[in-house]
Every structure is written in structure tokens, then in C-alpha cells.
Amino acid sequence: MEIKHQHFILYKPDGYLSQFVNNQTKRTKKKLLGELYSFPENTMAIGRLDEPSEGLLLLTTDGKTSEFIRSNKVEKEYLAQVDGMITSEAIEQLINGVEISYEGTTYKTNTCKAYKLKTSPSIPERRKKIRDERHGPTSWISIILREGKFRQVRKMTAAVGFATLRLVRVRIGNIQLSTMQPGEVIEVNKLLD
């Protein structure tokens, strides 16, 4: 008998961990994904978004689906609000790969797609404001990757001199965040074609 797996698309709000169980030894009041929706047992997040990051997170009860989506066969697109007006030289460095630290060693990121947005994206406001223009200008960039090391986009923008202030994943493969709102969950029959 074939197992019927369940799949979900979630707009992870900032301030949540991309997990269902708090594995930290210290007792903390971290917000977990299970507080957003009544997910079935054995649901797993496909990849992660760190606590301050937000946006598209796919969840499934199927390990094979999770493994495929985490692979380098599937593009992931992020919008990053960075500190300062990013330069074309910095964008070029991101595209060609930059050195970041990963698991205690230096790692050169794969080539990727990146460009500066002409206007601020139309995404929901954060619960907590990051800062305002009194602290200096900011700019938005799109980064499209086929890899996902721990805090990779934040490390990449820092490596070219522009710290990430806000990070929103807007696309995984052909699934887009589009008009979803923070905390919204949509159950779907399958995740990727």
C-alpha cells in the first residue's frame, strides 16, 4: 500500500525557528513551526531559514521530496535588504562566488545569479522594524542559488561589504511566495513537478 504523503507551503515569519522541536539544552521560549499550524506527525522543513529570516519554507512528510528540493537541482531565490547602496562590483563578486566560512573552514560559493532591485519589493512589513533611513541608505538585491550552506546569503553579502538587514526567500523552484502573508500555510498535493 502506497503511503500518502502531505506537503505544505509556508510563509515563515521572522522570529521563528525552522523546526518543530527545540534541541537547545537551555530552556528557551523560541517560537517553533508547530505554533503556526497543526502539521501532521513526521512533517519536516525542507532546508531552513534562520530565526531572523522570513519567507518561503516548504514542508513535507516525504524524505525523498525533501532530499530532491535541498539538492543543487533546484533554484532558491532570496531578496536581501543590505546596509548601504550596493555596488555593481559587489554584485559581480557575488555572481562569481565569494569566500565564506563554513563549518570552521573557508568555502568558496558557487557561481549564482544576482542583481540589484530598482525599487523596494512589495512584501509584507516585518513585525519588528529593522531600522529606518535615518541610519543611512539601504538597497535590495536578488540572489538566486542552487546551494544552501548555513546562513550563506548573509555571509555572502557581508563578504562583499554589505551586511544583510532583512532576508526573504521568495522562490524555491517554480513555487513562489507571491501574495502569501507571514504565518500563512497552504497544503498542496505535490511540491515540484
In order along its 193 residues, the chain shows pLDDT tens digits of: 667 899 999 999 999 998 887 665 555 688 999 999 999 989 999 989 999 999 999 999 999 999 999 999 999 999 999 999 999 999 999 999 999 998 889 999 999 999 999 999 999 988 777 766 677 899 999 999 998 888 899 999 999 999 999 999 999 999 999 999 999 999 999 987 6
Q: What is the pLDDT of residue 125?
A: 86
Report how far apart, in Å, the C-alpha atoms of 45 and of each of 93, 124, 140, 152 are: 31, 22, 26, 18
Nearby residues of 44 by Cβ (< 8 Å), 6 or more positions away: 59, 60, 61, 63, 66
50 is catalytic: yes
Residue with cell 548555513: 150
Q: What is the pLDDT of residue 74?
A: 95
Model pTM score: 0.92
Q: What is the pLDDT of residue 112?
A: 97
Residue-range domains of the chain with CATH:
7-71+175-188 (3.30.70.580), 76-172 (3.30.70.1560)
Tell me the C-alpha distance between 10 and 14, whole Å: 12
Q: What is the pLDDT of residue 27?
A: 59
Which of 50, 62, 83, 132 does the annotation list as catalytic?
Answer: 50
